[in-house]
Amino acid sequence: MRRIAFVLADVISVDSFLQEQIVEICKTDAEVWTLCNKADESSIKPTEKCKLKPIRIAREINLYRDIMAISRLVFILLFKTRPQVLVASTPKGGLLGIISATLAGVKRRIYHVRGIRYETTSGLKKLLLIYCERTACWLAHEVVSNSFSMRERLIDDNVVKASKIHVIGHGSAKGVDLLRFCPDKIKLEQVNYIRTSLGIPSSSIILGFAGRLTRDKGIDEAVRTFVELVEEGYDIHLLVMGSRELGDSPSKDTLEALNTHPKIHCVGHITDTHNYYAAFDIMLFPSYREGLPNALLEASAMKLPVVAFKATGTVDVIVHGVSGTLVTVGDFVKFKRAVREYLNNSSLREMHGLAGRKHVIDRFDQKVVIDNWVKYITGERIATDCQESAEGASIDYAKSA
């Protein structure tokens, strides 16, 4: 029986990004081990072929804890899991996982790049993060990017050679469940309940935000846009899905608005996001960096028009002028103008929303995405060089020997 190991920094990433992959791989002749922080708290149920092993990995750089994590990982890989394939992802889990797999002599090491953290840093920290990415890419046998635009960025920054980094299908690690995220299947009563429970009149337009409440996710721009449009007289509310994190906190003005503005509704981390997307009218996504954002896949599947920054990863999901509006990263004036245009034009909202769902159906159907990943990881077929750019079609595949 083949043994496959996944290494990530935290259990939230496992449940959010890998659950579907792991479940499907376990249906093959492979045994899967998942190594991460608090693995025993995962929503994935352990079986004879699906093993979960907790391993302490610090999110930030901590030399002592990182060395201890590598030592522990090497021991587990050598004497417990003994995988033929190891897939490591998330910035910290990816680096430590690939280093450990190299020391343990794992025969096939895959580094899955889900995002480029150094994009929103500067100075010494940026140089250190670039070095870490280069190290992980160098030690891995194969590097997989979550999107074409991120692949191009990593190549342009001399982090990895073009011949070594690939994109599976059109990108994404899980795609989107088109049955769950389908507005036609959401009951109107559920949408009305959300509006009523939050005190939002049926006549008001809801601007939506989904993501971590941090600066690099654009919460400052989303809140400022909303506040200024309210001051212009628009009958709108802002519905915010997502939790706060330590570090990269929003500005004081944003925090004050989130806590006190009567038309801003923060609902925290939500599991039934499809119901809340159904309540949105416009999706705000001024994120400064992405790998390939699941939130945009879900929002587009729910026929929502999107206003977003033209950031890495985002450009792979939103087609400017077709399924949404993209503006230069950090250009607040154009961002607000694009939101205002949607507020003034319901026909444009509907047209872009319909196009967004079609785009997602064509490229990011979860069944197809997961099937491609399972075949790639289990060795049924391997990725060859990318044939098209960030806005192109899928990567070619070649049968493995």
On whether both 201 and 161 belong to a single domain, the answer is no
Q: Scan for tokens 């190549």, then name that residue.
A: 155
* Lowest-confidence pick of 35-44, 148-157, 267-276: 35-44
Q: Using CB atoms within 10 A of its CB, is residue 57 exposed (0-12), middle (13-18) or buried (19+)?
A: buried
Contact present, 151 and 385 (Cβ < 8 Å): no
On whether both 300 and 382 belong to a single domain, the answer is no
On whether both 191 and 144 belong to a single domain, the answer is no
On whether both 40 and 125 belong to a single domain, the answer is yes
CATH number, domain containing residue 117 = 3.40.50.2000
Query: What is the extent of the structural domain holding 337?
Result: 183-363
* Res 395: pLDDT: 33
CB under 8 Å to 315, separation ≥6 — which residues? 149, 326, 390, 391
On whether both 86 and 10 belong to a single domain, the answer is yes
Confidence of residue 248 (pLDDT cuts 50, 70, 90): confident
pLDDT in tens, 58-110: 877 788 999 999 999 999 999 999 999 999 998 889 999 999 999 999 999 99
On whether both 213 and 357 belong to a single domain, the answer is yes
Give the H or E element holding residue 385: none
| DSSP β-ladder status, 85-89 and 108-113 | parallel
On whether both 34 and 102 belong to a single domain, the answer is yes
Confidence of residue 381 (pLDDT cuts 50, 70, 90): low
On whether both 198 and 325 belong to a single domain, the answer is yes
pLDDT in tens, 122-179: 999 999 999 999 999 999 999 999 999 999 999 999 999 999 999 999 999 999 999 9
Contact present, 91 and 289 (Cβ < 8 Å): no
The number of domains in the chain is: 2
**Which residues share a beta bridge with 85?**
4, 108
On whether both 87 and 188 belong to a single domain, the answer is no
On whether both 41 and 111 belong to a single domain, the answer is yes
State both tokens at 287: 């994120």
CA distance 76 to 78: 6
pLDDT in tens, 179-207: 999 999 999 999 999 999 999 999 999 99
* Res 39: pLDDT: 87
On whether both 116 and 216 belong to a single domain, the answer is no
One-letter amino acid for residue 188 of the chain: L
For the chain, the straight-line distance linking the first and the last C-alpha, in angstroms and rounded, comes to 18
On whether both 43 and 101 belong to a single domain, the answer is yes
